[in-house]
Amino acid sequence: MQLEKILAHGLFARSERMGRFLRVAVERALDGRADELKEYLIGVEVFDRKQSYDPRVDPIVRVEARRLRSKLKAYYDGEGRSDPIVIEFFLGSYAPHFREIGEASWPASRDGVDVPRSISQGVPQAKACATTAVLPFLNLSPNPENEYFSDGLTEELIHALTKLPGMRVVAWNTAAQLRDRQQDILAIRQKLNVDTVLTGSVRMAGPSLRVRAQLIDTETGVYLWSETYDRQMQDVFAIQEEIALAIVRTLRVQLSGVREDALGRGRTTVSSYDWYLKGRYLWHQRIPEHLKQSVQCFQNAIAADGNSALAYGGLADAYSLLVDYGLMHPAEGFPQAKQAAQRAIALDPELAEPHASLAFVRGIYDWQWDDAELLYHHAIALNPGYATAHHWLGCDHYAMLGRLDEALAEVRIAQQLDPLSSIIMEGNAYVLMLRREYPAAIAGYREILTQDPSFYKAYTSMGRAYVQMGNYPEALAMLKKGRSLAGDVPSILGAMGQTYALLGDLPRARESLLDLERLSKVKYVPTACFAVIHLGLGETGRALDWLEEGCKRRESQLSGIRVHPMYDPLRAEPRFRGLLSRLGML
């Protein structure tokens, strides 16, 4: 039986409760009792919650349902790709959907579930969720610099709508790439596979604010809803809530326990919110100087309102990326990121972003991996459509722990939510590289460059993949191209030095070490940059010296040593196993 085959697979055999979840759902559905598969019943029967269990307080079922979808996706991407029947769970439903490979969905049975005729005619179907894209609102203000505000309003609407289990909303990074293409509705439908788009405009004039919004059917071009709001600036929060609620009502999305007032985000002062939006605008650009400027904006937002959870959450993200990009020493940046995230959560426990930010720090800095995983799952339970949480959970948690099937499944969820995001596409290719699927990884990096030729990480990551394939000339060419775009980033200089060593150009490899030493006198240089050059030179002792120093500094770059193939020459070394032990990876 196909169910038994799935349950015997390693993805499920090691998790008794996950297997029980799948068995209960499938067997009840096949018995024609899919309507019984509610959150309360699953919590009590599968996860051993008491009769007093309240799903509104304890998100265990929603969290585990998301994990179940991820594991099934990983199974069908791997060993199960030839199975004749695919078992799926749609967002917002705990009733399974059965689909034959190569077949379209069958007409619904009397109970409402599409199943292949070969299985049953009596299993209720989960209704597919509404899909929409919120395109960047046009800035019609006299000052073109006010684009940060129109972009921020767009992103806040996306965050509000992604909380709903009955909707799939395209994430901001993808929406931002469709700026000025609002008229090309059919192309957007084909590219993003969405049923509707929300377009609009913002005009600021002193204290006055005009926001116009339209919800459009992408198949017919018909305006499903349109409204103009002429208000004062302090009404911006109410406008966001009203637009989100209008979309929910127009698309007849079930709120499924989500309160109408929860569609809004934390209230703050107009001045604080204005600084927060400026900070997010700079943060999203991922340019070193703009990341530093975003910190000041978030600090200004906090100065204007010391109880702004949004501002503290933004500050946590800014410090985390500054360290992750090698722009700040981990001992300086990560404690500040943690403190800001904890303050944001204390102010607004329902905000997903700071939970993901805290999870990031708890994993790659504190090395408290179990705690990090719980925080990631809680962030996703709060906002299932938050693509960054899925991305970080896949690339910075599952992948680092060697759980590469789960990592790939999680990153692909992020891609579904944010299909045009270069950084998420890079994460998908990175996981493929860790799985040692080098040609597939390189194809992924090249795909990024077709839409974003200036994205330097695609070149440098491709260079590292070519190193693992032994194609050192091509690797060096890619690394040089990335350096020409990004400048003297320490990690690029380290990868180039390693490649010179592997090519046999020892003088240039030694010169790269000197370049990094000179650079370290004016900016932070992660120890791993030195270590990889010594690895290329065959100097394992010196490489371990640097990695052990990095361990003392709690550098985030060390989190990949368990799985990255570049560290294969060290795996038999007792000192290397000692490092893994200190990182909590043994």
**Which pLDDT does position 429 carry in this prediction?**
97
**Which pLDDT band, with edges at 50, 70 and 90, does 1 fall under?**
low
- Least confident piece of the model among 66-70, 392-396, 494-498: 66-70
Across residues 91-111, what is the average pLDDT? 57
- Assign 266 a pLDDT band (cuts: 50, 70, 90): low
What would the mean pLDDT of 432-442 be, rounded to a whole number?
97
Task: Give the whole-number percent of the chain exceeding pLDDT 90.
Answer: 50
Single-letter code of the amino acid located at 350:
E
> 282 and 261 in contact (C-beta within 8 Å)?
no
Confidence of residue 162 (pLDDT cuts 50, 70, 90): confident
Write phi, then psi, for 381 (nearest 5 degrees).
-65, -35
522 burial type by CB count under 10 A (0-12 exposed, 13-18 middle, 19+ buried) = exposed
pLDDT at 265 over 70: no
Strands (E), 170-222: 196-205, 208-217
How many residues are present in the chain? 586
Alpha-carbon separation of residue 29 from 2, 12, 461 (angstroms):
15, 20, 45
Residue 499, pLDDT above cutoff 60: yes
Tell me the pLDDT tens digit for each residue of 343-361.
Answer: 999 999 989 999 999 999 9
What are the tens digits of pLDDT across the range 45-100? 888 888 887 776 677 887 788 788 878 888 887 788 888 888 988 766 788 888 77
* Per-residue CA distances from 110 to 32, 428, 467 (Å): 10, 40, 57
Task: Provide the residue type at 565 as one letter.
Answer: P
pLDDT over threshold 80, residue 14: no
* pLDDT at residue 164 tops 90: no
Confidence at residue 117, expressed as pLDDT on a 0 to 100 scale: 33
Q: Please tell me the distance from the alpha carbon of residue 244 to that of residue 221, in angstroms, as a whole number.
A: 20
Angle at the Cα of 53 (from 48 to 58), degrees rounded to 5? 95
Enumerate residues 6+ apart whose C-beta is below 8 A from 518. none
pLDDT tier at 580, thresholds 50, 70, 90? very high
Q: What is the DSSP letter of 46?
A: T
- Which pLDDT belongs to residue 253? 56
Instruction: Please indicate whether residue 321 or residue 126 has the higher confidence score (pLDDT).
Output: 321
Residues 6+ apart with CB under 8 A from 371: 362
> What pLDDT digit, counting tens, does each position of 448-484 carry?
999 889 999 999 999 999 999 999 999 999 999 999 9
Alpha carbon separation from 201 to 11, 146, 160, 182, 276 (Å, rounded): 47, 12, 18, 11, 20
**In sequence order, which ranges of 263-351 are alpha helices (DSSP H)?**
270-284, 288-304, 309-324, 330-347
- Per-residue pLDDT, averaged over 395-418, amounts to 94
How far apart are the C-alpha atoms of 341 and 315, rounded to whole Å? 8
DSSP 397: I
| Statement: residue 261 has pLDDT above 60 | no
On the question of pLDDT at 111 being above 50, the answer is no
- Return d(Cα 401, Cα 546) in angstroms, integer: 22
For residue 314, how far is the Cα from the chain centroid?
Answer: 16
* 271-296 average pLDDT score: 89
Q: What is the mean pLDDT of the chain?
A: 86
pLDDT at 286 exceeding the cut of 90? no
Closest Cα to residue 195, out of 254, 243, 130?
A: 130
Query: What DSSP string describes 127-171?
Result: PPPEEEEEPPPEE-SSSGGGHHHHHHHHHHHHHHHHT-TTEEE--
Q: What local confidence, expressed as pLDDT, does residue 440 receive?
A: 96
Whether the predicted pLDDT of 256 surpasses 60:
no
3-state DSSP of 499-567: HHHHHCCHHHHHHHHHHHHHHHCCCCCCHHHHHHHHHHCCCHHHHHHHHHHHHHHCCHHHHHCCCCHHH
Q: Look at residue 411 and tell me whether its pLDDT is greater than 50.
A: yes
The residue-averaged pLDDT of 132-156 equals 89
Distance CA 460, CA 531 (A): 17
Q: CB-side exposure of 188: number of CA atoms within 13 Å?
A: 30
pLDDT of residue 272: 92
Question: Residue 441 above 50 pLDDT?
Answer: yes
Distance CA 539, CA 559 (A): 21
For residues 302 and 271, give the distance between their C-alpha atoms in angstroms, rounded to a whole number. Answer: 10
For 207-231, give one letter per residue: b (16+ CB within 10 A) or e: eebbbbbbbbebeeeeebbeeebee
Instruction: From 401, 327, 385, select the one nearest 353 (Cα to Cα).
Output: 385
Percent with pLDDT over 70 in the chain: 91
Rg (CA), the chain: 25
Any idea which of 67-81, 148-162, 497-511 has the lowest mean pLDDT?
67-81
Q: Under 8 Å CB-to-CB from 176, ≥6 apart: which residues?
A: 136, 151, 284
Residue 558 has a pLDDT of 94
Instruction: Give the integer Cα–Cα distance in Å for 382 and 357.
Output: 14
pLDDT tens column, 293-325: 999 999 999 999 999 999 999 999 999 999 988
Mean pLDDT value of segment 378-407: 94
- Rounded to the nearest 10 degrees, what angle do helices 527-536 and 490-503 cross at? 10
Q: State the pLDDT at residue 428.
A: 96
d(CA 485, CA 465): 19
Q: Using the 8-state DSSP alphabet, how is residue 395 labeled?
A: I
Nearest-angstrom CA–CA distance, 298 and 283: 10
Which tens digit of pLDDT belongs to each residue from 189-230? 888 889 899 999 999 888 888 999 999 999 888 888 888 888
The domains of the chain, with CATH numbers, are 2-100 (no CATH), 130-258 (3.40.50.10610), 269-347+355-365 (1.25.40.10), 385-484 (1.25.40.10), 488-586 (no CATH)
Judge whether 279 and 294 are in contact, CB under 8 Å: yes
Residue owning tokens 């994993």: 363
pLDDT of residue 114: 35
Contact (Cβ atoms closer than 8 angstroms) between residue 243 and residue 225: no
Which tokens is 1 given?
């039986």
pLDDT at position 528 is 96
Helices 60-77 and 16-30, packing angle to 10 deg = 90
